[in-house]
Structure 1
Amino acid sequence: MKAIRATDKYLVRYKWHFLGGVLFVALSTLLAIFPAQVVRYAFDLVQEGIDLYHLFGGTQAQQGVYSLFGRNIILYGALIIGLALLRGVFLFFMRQTLIVMSRLIENDQKNEIYQHYQSLPLSFYRRHSTGDLMSRISEDVGRVRMYIGPAIMYFMQLVILFLLIVPLMLMVNVKLTLLTLLPLPILSISIFYVNNLIEKKSDEIQKALANMTTFVQEAFSGIRVLKSFVREQDSHRNFTTASDAYRAKSLELNFVNSLFFPLILFLVGVSTIVTVWIGGQEVIRGTITTGTIAEFLIYVNLLTWPVTALGWTSSLVQRAEASQARINEFLNQKTDIVSRQNIAQHIQGDIVFDNVSFVYPDTGIQALTGVSFRIQPGHTLAVIGNTGSGKSTIANLLCRLYDVTSGRILVDGVDVRDYALTSLRSQIGYVPQDVFLFSDTIGHNIGFGLDALSEERMVQAAKDADVYENIMRFPEGFETKVGERGITLSGGQKQRVSIARALVKEPSILILDDALSAVDTKTENVILGSLQRIMQNRTSLIISHRVSSVKLADHILVLDDGRIVQHGTHEELMADQEGLYRALYERQLQSEEA
C-alpha cells in the first residue's frame, strides 16, 4: 500500500467531500438498519393482533382490536416507506460526495500526469512507447479512481454495517448470528478469486482489442501502400486472426461472468435457509419470535452486498496499488532540461557552438564530436552531410531539446542552459525533419505557435512558404481540415505548411531541418527565393542533405560522422576536388540528370 499513499494529497484536497461522504454513509446505513427493527415489531404485532382478535372473538372489543391492528400496520408501513425514501436521499448525497470526489481526483491526476509528461525530455519519449504513456494516463488512472471512489465507499459501508448489525444480532441470539454469518466470509473469498479471474480475462481482452485496433489503424493509415502491393486479402486474413482472438477472449470472460451471480445467489440462499431453519427451531423453543427471523433475513440481505463488495474492493485495491506504482514510476522521473538562471531577454541571434560533443542518453550513440562554429546575427549557416552525420542533432541542441554532453552553446553570449526555456524556444522558428501537422484546419496549424494571429500575417506566411495558392484551391481555404497527421495534404504541401508555421512567428532564429526534401527543384527555388528575403537580418540555420538547398548560405559546414570535415562558401568548397561537399554535389547532379 506504499504506492497508493501518493493519492493521500488528493484526499486532503477534497477533505470536505470525503468527510461529507463518511457522514452520508453512516446516515444511510442507520436508515437501512431501522426498517429491519420496524419489520420485527410489525411481524410480532401481526402475531399478537391475531391472538387478541381470537381472544376477544364474539365481543364488541374484537372490532376495536381489529381497527387498532390496522392503524398500527399502516403506521409501520408508512414508517418503513419514509425511512426508505430518506435513506434514498442520503444514498444520493453519498454518491454525490464520494463518487464525485473520485471523479475530481481522477481529473486532477490526469492533468498532473499530462503536465509532467510535457516537462520530460525527448530522451524519455524515445524510451517509452505512446501506447504505454496513454495506458498510464487513462487505464491506470481509472483503476486508481475505482479505489478512491467505489472501493472506499463500499468498505466504509461494510465496516459501519458490521459495527452496527453484528452486535444487534448477537444481542438477540448468538447461535443464530454465527450460523447465519458463516457463509458470508466464504462468499467474500469466492468473489475475490472470481473477480481476479474476471480482471485477468478483462486484461487479456483489452490487449486483444489493443492489438486489433493498432492493426486496423496501421492498415488504414497505410492504405496506399497496402493497395499498391495488392495485400488486401492478406490484410483481411490478419484482421480475421486478430478478431478471432478477441472473440475467444470475450467468450471466456462471458463464461466466468456467468458463474459470478449464480455463486452470489447460491451463498445468499444458504444464509437464508440457515436463518429460516435455525430460526424456526428457536421460535419453536420460544427463545425468539417470527419477527426476529424476518429481522435477521433483512440483516443478511443488508450484509450480502458489502461482503460481496469486500472481495471486489480487495481486488480493486490490489489493482490500484499496481497502477499507482506504474504512475509513480513516471511521475518520479525528473527532467534534466531545466534553466539555471531563467534569463528572459530578446535574442539578436549570435550563436556559438564551442567544442560541442553529444551522446544520446538513451542509445549511447556519439552524434557530435568537438563541433565548433559561429553564426553572426543576421547571417545564414548551412549544415550538410550524409544521413546520420549529426545534422539534426545541432538543431535539437540549439532548441535545447537535449543538453550537450560536453562543451557549450552560447546565444548572444549567454549559455543556452541559462535561458528560460519558454523565452529561448519562443524566439526560434523550427521546421523539423519529420513534419507533424495536427488534425485541425490549415489556418490553426499555421498559427499553432501564437496565441492570436491576424489573417494578413497568416496569408503572408503562406505566400512566403509558397503554399498559399495550394490552400486557396481547397473549397474551404484556410479552414480546410488536414486530417490525422495531415494525411489530406501531399508531402510537399505538409512541409510548406510547416515552414509557414515557423515563419509566421517572425522568430529571431530560423531553423530549417531538411525542410525542402519533399518538394521538387522548381518549388525549392521559389521557396528559397522567398526565404532569402525573409532571412535578411535574421539568423538562420539550414540543415539539408541536398546541395541545392544550402548553396545560398553565407557559410557552409560539412559534417561527417559527427565531425566538421569542411567549411566555407559554396565556391570555396567546390574548389576542393577531393572534398565531401563536391562529392555530394556531383552525386546529386548525376541523380537529377538520370
Structure 2
Amino acid sequence: MRALSAVNPFIFRYKWHFLAGVLFVALSTLLAIFPAQLVRYAFDLVNEGIDLYHLYAGTQAQSSVYQLFGRNVLFYGVLIIVLALLRGIFLFFMRQTLIVMSRHIENDQKNQIYQHYQSLPLSFYRRHSTGDLMSRISEDVSRVRMYLGPAIMYFLQLVLLFLLIVPLMLIVNVKLTIYTLLPLPILSVSIFYVNNLIERKSDEIQKALSGMTTFVQEAFSGIRVLKSFVREADSHAQFAAASNEYKEKSLSLNFVNSLFFPLILFLIGLSTLITVWVGGQEVIRGTITTGTIAEFLIYVNLLTWPVTALGWTSSLVQRAEASQARINEFLDQKTDIVSRQNVQRELVGDIVFDHVSFTYPDTGIQALRDVSFRVRPGQTLAVIGNTGSGKSTVAALLCRLYDVSAGGIRVDDTDVRDYSLQALRGQIGYVPQDVFLFSDSIRNNINFGLDQPNEARMLQAAKDADVYENILAFPEGFDTKVGERGITLSGGQKQRVSMARALVKEPKILILDDSLSAVDTKTENAILGSLQRIMAQRTSLIISHRVSSVKLADEILVLDDGVIVQHGTHEALMADANGLYRALYERQLQTEEA
C-alpha cells in the first residue's frame, strides 16, 4: 500500500464523496440485515398461526385467528418491501458517491500525468517508448481507479456485514454459525487465485492485442513501402500469426472463465446445504425455529458476494499497487530544464554561443565541442556540415530543449537558462528536421502556434512557404485533412506546411533545420526568395547539408564532428580550395549535374 499512498491527496480532495459513500454503505448494509430478522419473525408467525388455526378448528375464534394472521403477514410483507426499496435507494447513492469519486480521481490523475509528461525533457522521451507512456496514462490509471472505486466499496461492505451479521448469528446459535461460515474462507481464497489467473491471462491477451494493433498500424502507415516491395503476402502471414496468438490466449482465458462461476455456485450451494442440514438438526432438537434457518440463509446470501469480492478486491489492490508504482516512477522524474530567473521580455535576436560543449545525457554522445559564434539582430547564419556533425544540436540548444554541458548561450546578453521557457520558445519559429503534422486540417496545422487563429497571417505564411498554390489545388483547400502524420501530403508539401506553421507566429528568431531537403531546386529557390524578405526583419538560423540552401546567408558556419572548422561568407569559404565547404559544394554540384 506504500505506492498507493500517492492517491491519498486525491481522496482528501473528494473527502465529502468518500464520507457520504461510507454513510450510504452503512445504511444499505443495515437495511439488508433487518429484513432477515423480519423473515424469521414472519416464518415463526406462520408456524404459530397455522397451529392456532387448527387448534380453534370449528370455533368462532378460528376466523379471528385467520384475520389476525393475515394482517400480520401483510404487515411484515409490506415492511420487507419498503426496506428493500430503501436499500435500493441507498445502494444507488453509494455508487453515485464512491464510484463517481473514483471517476473524478481517474480524470484528475490522467490530467496530472499528461501535464507532467509535457514538463519532462526530450531525453526522457528518448529513453521511453510511446506505448509505455500511453500504458501508464490509460491502463495503469484505470487499474488504480478500480482500487479507489469497487475495491474500497466492496471492502467496506464486507467489513460492515461481518461486524454486524456474525455477532447476530453467534447470539442465535454458535454451532450453526460455524458450519454456515465454513465454506466462505475457501470461497474467498479460491476466488483470489482464480482471479489472479484470469488477470494474468487478460494481461497476456492485452499484450497480444497491443502487438497486433501496432503491427496493423505500422502496416497501414507504411502501405506505400509494403506495396512497392510486394510484401503483401508476407505481411498477411505475419498478421495471421499474431491473430492466431491472440485467439489461443483468448480461448485459454475463456476456459478459466468457464470454471469461475461454477466454482462460486458450488461453494455457495455447499454453504446453503450445510445451513439447511445443520439447521434442520437444531430445529429437531428444539434449539432454534424454522424461521432461524430462513434468517441464516439470507445471511449466507448477504455474505457470499462480499466474501467473493474479497478475493477479487485483493487482486485489484495488488494490481493497483503495481500500477501506481509504475506511475510514481514517472511522476518522480523531474525536469532539469527550468527557468532560473523567469525573465519575460521581447527578444531582439542577438545570439551568442560561448564555448559551448554538449553531450547527450541518454547516449553519452558528444555532439558539440567548444563551439563559439555570434549572430547579430537581423542577421542570417547558416550552419552546414555532414550528417552527424552536430547541426541540429545547435537548434535544440538554442530552443533550450536541452541545456549545455559546458559554456553558455546568451540571447540579448541574457543566458537562455534565465528566460521563461514560454517567453523564449514562444518567440522562436522552429522548423524541425523531422517534420510532424497532426491528423487535422492544413488550416489548424498552420495555426497551431497561435493562441487565436489569424486568417490573414495564415494565408501570408502559406505564400511565404510557397505552399499556397498547392493547398488551393486540393478539393477542400485549407480544410483538407492531412491524415496521420501528414500521409496525404508529399514530403516537400509537409516541409512547407511545417515552415508556414513557424512563419505564422512572426517569430523574433527563425530556425530552419534542414527544412528544404525534400523540395526540388526550383521550389527551394522560390522559398529562399520569399524568406529573404522575412529573414531581413529577424535573426535567422538556417541548418542544412545542402550548399544551395545556405549560400544566401550573411555568414556560414561549417561543422565537422561537433567542431567549427570554417566560418565566413560563401565567397570567403569558396576561396579556400582545401576547405570542407568547397568540397561539399563541388560534391553536390557534381550530383546535380549527374
State the TM-score bracket (shorter-chain normalisation). Answer: over 0.9
- Are residues 1:251 and 2:257 paired? no
Shift, 1:593, TM fit: 1.1
Shift, 1:359, TM fit: 0.2
Q: Which residue of 2 aligns with 1:441?
A: 441
Q: Which residue of 1 aligns with 2:144?
A: 144
Moved more, 451-460 or 530-539: 451-460
Shift, 1:73, TM fit: 1.2
Q: Which residue of 1 aligns with 2:536?
A: 536
Moved more, 301-310 or 60-69: 60-69
CA distance in 1, matches of 2:259, 2:42: 37
CA distance in 2, matches of 1:342, 1:585: 43
CA distance in 1, matches of 2:517, 2:379: 22
Q: Which residue of 2 aligns with 1:353?
A: 353
Paired letter, 1:282: E
Matched position secondary structure for 1:334: coil
Matched position secondary structure for 1:371: strand
Shift, 1:76, TM fit: 1.1
Paired letter, 1:555: E
Q: Which residue of 2 aligns with 1:52?
A: 52
- Are residues 1:226 and 2:226 paired? yes
Q: Which residue of 2 aligns with 1:75?
A: 75
Shift, 1:176, TM fit: 0.3
Shift, 1:533, TM fit: 0.5
Q: How does 1:253-292 map to 2 (within 5 A)?
A: 253-292=253-292
Shift, 1:65, TM fit: 1.0
Paired letter, 1:257: N
Matched position secondary structure for 2:381: strand
Flag structure 1 segments of 5+ consecutive residues without an equivalent. none
Q: Which residue of 1 aligns with 2:308?
A: 308
Q: What are the Cα deviations for residues 214-245 of structure 1, in whole angstroms up to 9, with x where unaligned? A: 00000000001000111000000000000000
Q: Which residue of 2 aligns with 1:388?
A: 388
Q: Which residue of 2 aligns with 1:462?
A: 462
Matched position secondary structure for 1:448: helix
CA distance in 1, matches of 2:412, 2:525: 31
Q: How does 1:11-30 map to 2 (within 5 A)?
A: 11-30=11-30
Q: Which residue of 2 aligns with 1:525?
A: 525
CA distance in 2, matches of 1:40, 1:404: 80
Matched position secondary structure for 2:449: coil
CA distance in 2, matches of 1:284, 1:518: 94
Q: Which residue of 2 aligns with 1:242?
A: 242
CA distance in 1, matches of 2:72, 2:227: 81
Shift, 1:95, TM fit: 0.2
Shift, 1:401, TM fit: 0.2
- Are residues 1:421 and 2:421 paired? yes
Shift, 1:477, TM fit: 1.0
- Are residues 1:579 and 2:579 paired? yes
Q: Which residue of 2 aligns with 1:185?
A: 185
> Structure 2 length as normaliser, TM-score?
1.00
Flag structure 2 segments of 5+ consecutive residues without an equivalent. none
Identity %: 83
Q: Which residue of 2 aligns with 1:401?
A: 401
Q: What are the Cα deviations for residues 470-510 of structure 1, in whole angstroms up to 9, with x where unaligned? A: 11111111111111111111111010000000000000000
Aligned partners of 2:446 and 2:504 also within 8 Å: yes
Q: What are the Cα deviations for residues 172-204 of structure 1, in whole angstroms up to 9, with x where unaligned? A: 000000110010000000000000000000000
Shift, 1:453, TM fit: 2.2
Q: Which residue of 2 aligns with 1:33?
A: 33
Paired letter, 2:360: Y
In angstroms, what is the RMSD of aligned CA positions?
0.5
Shift, 1:135, TM fit: 0.2
Matched position secondary structure for 1:230: coil
- Are residues 1:475 and 2:446 paired? no
Shift, 1:68, TM fit: 1.3
Q: Which residue of 1 aligns with 2:173?
A: 173
Paired letter, 2:459: V
Q: Which residue of 1 aligns with 2:87?
A: 87
- Are residues 1:453 and 2:433 paired? no
Matched position secondary structure for 2:409: strand
CA distance in 1, matches of 2:29, 2:229: 66
Matched position secondary structure for 1:566: strand
Aligned partners of 2:204 and 2:249 also within 8 Å: yes
Shift, 1:391, TM fit: 0.2
Aligned partners of 2:384 and 2:550 also within 8 Å: yes
- Are residues 1:97 and 2:97 paired? yes
Paired letter, 2:272: T
Q: What are the Cα deviations for residues 127-168 of structure 1, in whole angstroms up to 9, with x where unaligned? A: 000000000000000000000000000000000000000000
Paired letter, 1:238: Q
CA distance in 2, matches of 1:81, 1:451: 60
Matched position secondary structure for 1:383: strand
Paired letter, 2:104: L
Paired letter, 1:109: Q
Aligned partners of 2:389 and 2:560 also within 8 Å: yes
CA distance in 1, matches of 2:320, 2:384: 52
Shift, 1:455, TM fit: 1.1
Matched position secondary structure for 2:316: helix
Paired letter, 1:559: L
Matched position secondary structure for 1:378: coil
CA distance in 2, matches of 1:99, 1:136: 21
Moved more, 214-223 or 75-84: 75-84
Matched position secondary structure for 1:447: helix
Matched position secondary structure for 1:558: strand
CA distance in 2, matches of 1:440, 1:453: 15
Shift, 1:436, TM fit: 0.4
Q: What are the Cα deviations for residues 341-364 of structure 1, in whole angstroms up to 9, with x where unaligned? A: 000011000000000000000000
Shift, 1:537, TM fit: 2.3
Q: Which residue of 1 aligns with 2:200?
A: 200
Paired positions, count: 594
CA distance in 1, matches of 2:59, 2:399: 104
Q: Which residue of 2 aligns with 1:130?
A: 130
Paired letter, 1:367: A
4+ runs deviating over 4 angstroms: none
> Structure 1 length as normaliser, TM-score?
1.00
Q: Which residue of 1 aligns with 2:10?
A: 10
CA distance in 2, matches of 1:305, 1:453: 56
CA distance in 2, matches of 1:8, 1:380: 54
Shift, 1:301, TM fit: 0.3
Matched position secondary structure for 1:481: coil
Q: Which residue of 1 aligns with 2:329?
A: 329
Q: Which residue of 1 aligns with 2:515?
A: 515
Paired letter, 2:304: T
Aligned partners of 2:447 and 2:454 also within 8 Å: no
CA distance in 1, matches of 2:20, 2:548: 71
Matched position secondary structure for 2:578: coil
Aligned partners of 2:208 and 2:246 also within 8 Å: yes
Matched position secondary structure for 1:564: strand
- Are residues 1:365 and 2:365 paired? yes
Q: Which residue of 1 aligns with 2:555?
A: 555
Shift, 1:63, TM fit: 1.1
Paired letter, 2:182: L
CA distance in 1, matches of 2:400, 2:208: 39
CA distance in 2, matches of 1:592, 1:298: 89
